[in-house]
Structure 1
Amino acid sequence: MISTMRAARMHNVGEPMKIEQIPVPVPGPGDVRVAVHAVNIVPNLANILSNWTTWFPLNPLPPLPAVFGLDPAGVVEAVGAGVEGVEVGDRVYVNPGRTCGACRACRDGRIVQCASYAFAGYFGFSATSIRLLDRYQGGLAEKMIAPATALVHIPDSLSFEAAARFGYLGTMYSALRKAAAGPGRSVLVNGITGTLGIGAALLAPALGITTLYGIGRDRELLAEIDKLAPGRLRLHSLHDGPVDEWIAAETGGQGVDVYIDALGPGAPHETLQQGVRALARGGIAVNVGAVAGEVPLDLHRMMDMDQTVRGSVWFTPGEGQDMADMAAAGVLDLSPLRHHVFPLDEVNTAINNVGSRHGGFSNFIISPVSGH
């Protein structure tokens, strides 16, 4: 029985990760152990590793030294006591959301609103998250443990590399679900060429979205996005004028039913404000990109228009299973993603190179276990 494994661990904030031999984790009751075949390197990871303790000191990182790695996929190799419905050999994506299971939100089924909610291998959302971060490490290791309830069973037709993209894809899927996006409802996505935004174009056929409006800056990337859902997309470069004016012209002044902002913390506020102004009566705006700072909104107008603005964080394992089932049915096609696969030894190179990605098409992957 092998008692140690290779893992990438960060010892101090801002320092490169070190490849080390650490004990193989043992799954406790309700847990499973997964042999990790692919981990997505999310674009924001470098910021988390270097700046998180300064930016958000109340939201803890895992106790250091720690194994990071937000989006793992692999094969179940051991099952703890009391686990039902999971077998050794199952191919899975591991949702990193960890919950206490006992607070009121958890007992009500609102697991993303858990008072101790944490992203294993990333960060927590409250001081009490630290216990979950300590118990469950991330995926930048040959093996990891996770609650059986966090697993998403993936079909043989879906590669581990594509499944490891479920985090950002699921973030968009959950936002679209919260806004009841589907047939007969118009949807506008800000940042459609990015890692989050491209998910809307990939999901549009599966959700029956008839017309998806998308905005970005890079005209060449927009042209590539246009090919993902022929006949469904109406795209606009921010170089060609304000968003709200374009939507007014496109919709005869009516506006859109759903606006989703997928821009990151460094983005200017103006395009978000334009997107909110582009909403129709009764429209809903959902922020998933983490635009930072206080954003002025015309709340009186929004009241008169019966509109809603809300945030949406991550997605549930159930929503992840929806996406896996869509992929199995052939209505969610992730083949346009371009996988850039690195061995575990090159984790620091991958983190530093993610800034060179080709918009949302690039999928940076660490593969701790080969032979998949």
Structure 2
Amino acid sequence: MRAVVMESRGGPEVLKVTEVPDPVPGPKEVRIRVKAVALNHLDIWVRKGVASPRLALPHVLGADVAGVVESVGPGVTGVSPGEEVVVNPGLSCGRCEKCLSGQDNLCPRYEILGEHRWGGYAELLVVPEVNVLPKPKNLSFEEAAAFPLTFLTAWQMVVDKLQVKPGEDVLVMAAGSGVSVAAIQIAKLFGARVIATAGSEEKLRRAKELGADETVNYTHPDWYKEVRALTGGKGADAVVDHTGALYWEGVVKATANGGRIAIAGASSGYEGTMPFAHVFFRQISIYGSTMGSKGRMFGIIRFLEAGRLRPVVGQVLPLEAAQEAHRLLEERRVFGKVVLQV
């Protein structure tokens, strides 16, 4: 099969289109003919060696896949060849206490497709049957590939960690990213007032079209003061953040007394300045968040099929253009997801 293989760590140039052996499905595994695979910032971090630095090379990236079931391994009973499917990118043992209590993303053996094992930048992909769900019928393959990782991540942040309530002010950082595109919609779904930040007026305009009530350009000096002004001096009740060190101090200062912050990444760097007085005196709660449990995908898909949530595809390129796709994402030139057609 054709695949985009990461031969070493480095820039986009390390991604090469080549041929590799077709994967063979084992017991309770499904082989998928990939139709579309979406990029995530995780792909960039793995490529650079920031994430999973000891990962064996060569490697194939790609967490978010939509396609058609081509064949199934022994013991597969719930999926048949020819079905259009989407892949849940979270992989776990399925046997431990965390998995069996519905917290599989806390499994000691938890992995993410495309990071810890070969992913979807390829014509074929083999995954466990439990990671395969029916593709929403109202979505194209490109749209279906654009929602799993980011919507799972945003759902856990907004619903499970922050427990957003109607009428609350929710600050969503970096509105053009896949996670934030999802978080804006999910926060609105739960009745919140959304304040979105971004670094360009075009992205702020797109965020408003998506449902954000207010917007702030976080390249402005003291941007957090604008957030506080928009909330009557109070600050945001809940914050969705993955921007990292560059904006962290501002994020804390933009948060209300007793507010909550959920962090799912650190795009601008992993080591930030913590204004401790703001945290303990104003009693701010900070939650780490990675992905979401497998079960959350079912509810997300129902909202997608009902048209109450929607993935946003910013750019579609052929598989062979993976290098350019990485540049688009890394340079933040796209609002929404970058997707590769296979």
Q: What TM-score does the superposition give when structure 2 sets the normalisation length?
A: 0.87
Q: Distance in 1 between matches of 2:331 and 2:282?
A: 41
1:158 aligns with 2:139: yes
Q: Distance in 1 between matches of 2:328 and 2:315?
A: 13
Give yes or no for contact 1:195–1:359 (8 Å, CA) kept in 2: no
Q: CA RMSD in A?
A: 2.5
1:40 matched residue in structure 2: 38
In the alignment, which of 15, 18, 22 is matched to residue 17 of structure 1?
15
Give yes or no for contact 1:189–1:262 (8 Å, CA) kept in 2: no
| Matching residue's letter, 1:173 | W
Q: How does 1:179-218 map to 2 (within 5 A)?
A: 179-205=162-188, 207-218=189-200
Q: 3-state SS of the aligned residue for 1:248?
A: helix
In the alignment, which of 295, 304, 315 is matched to residue 339 of structure 1?
315
Of 302-311 and 147-156, more deviation after overlay is shown by 302-311
Of 153-162 and 301-310, more deviation after overlay is shown by 301-310
1:314 matched residue in structure 2: 291
Q: Distance in 2 between matches of 1:9 and 1:296?
A: 37
1:360–1:353 distance in 2 versus 1, CA, 3 Å: closer
| Matching residue's letter, 1:19 | V
Of 352-361 and 92-101, more deviation after overlay is shown by 352-361
Deviation at 1:357, TM superposition (A): 5.0
1:110 matched residue in structure 2: 103
Q: Deviations over 1:157-212 (max 9, x none)?
A: 1111112122223322221112112423221112123333222233344x233310
Q: 3-state SS of the aligned residue for 1:215?
A: strand
Matched pairs, number: 337
2:202 matched residue in structure 1: 220
Q: Distance in 2 between matches of 1:248 and 1:11?
A: 47
Q: Distance in 2 between matches of 1:189 and 1:222?
A: 11
Deviation at 1:34, TM superposition (A): 0.9
| Matching residue's letter, 1:262 | H
1:170 aligns with 2:162: no
2:341 matched residue in structure 1: 367
1:82 matched residue in structure 2: 75
In the alignment, which of 120, 126, 133 is matched to residue 145 of structure 1?
126
1:255 aligns with 2:230: no
1:163–1:18 distance in 2 versus 1, CA, 3 Å: same
1:340–1:357 distance in 2 versus 1, CA, 3 Å: farther
1:275 matched residue in structure 2: 251
Deviation at 1:44, TM superposition (A): 4.8
1:21–1:318 distance in 2 versus 1, CA, 3 Å: same
| Matching residue's letter, 2:339 | I
| Matching residue's letter, 1:235 | T
Give yes or no for contact 1:254–1:280 (8 Å, CA) kept in 2: yes
1:247–1:107 distance in 2 versus 1, CA, 3 Å: same
1:193–1:138 distance in 2 versus 1, CA, 3 Å: closer
Deviation at 1:297, TM superposition (A): 3.0
Deviation at 1:56, TM superposition (A): 5.3
In the alignment, which of 303, 325, 338 is matched to residue 350 of structure 1?
325
Q: Distance in 2 between matches of 1:331 and 1:111?
A: 26
| Unpaired segments ≥5 residues, structure 1 | 124-132
Give yes or no for contact 2:60–2:121 (8 Å, CA) kept in 1: yes
1:194–1:345 distance in 2 versus 1, CA, 3 Å: closer
Give yes or no for contact 2:169–2:192 (8 Å, CA) kept in 1: yes
Q: What TM-score does the superposition give when structure 1 sets the normalisation length?
A: 0.81
1:122 aligns with 2:122: no
Give yes or no for contact 1:73–1:163 (8 Å, CA) kept in 2: yes
1:69 aligns with 2:65: no
Q: 3-state SS of the aligned residue for 1:197?
A: helix
| Matching residue's letter, 1:313 | T
Deviation at 1:73, TM superposition (A): 1.0
Q: Deviations over 1:43-78 (max 9, x none)?
A: 4534422x21xx456x532x3223222211111222
Q: Distance in 2 between matches of 1:356 and 1:290?
A: 16
Give yes or no for contact 1:259–1:286 (8 Å, CA) kept in 2: yes
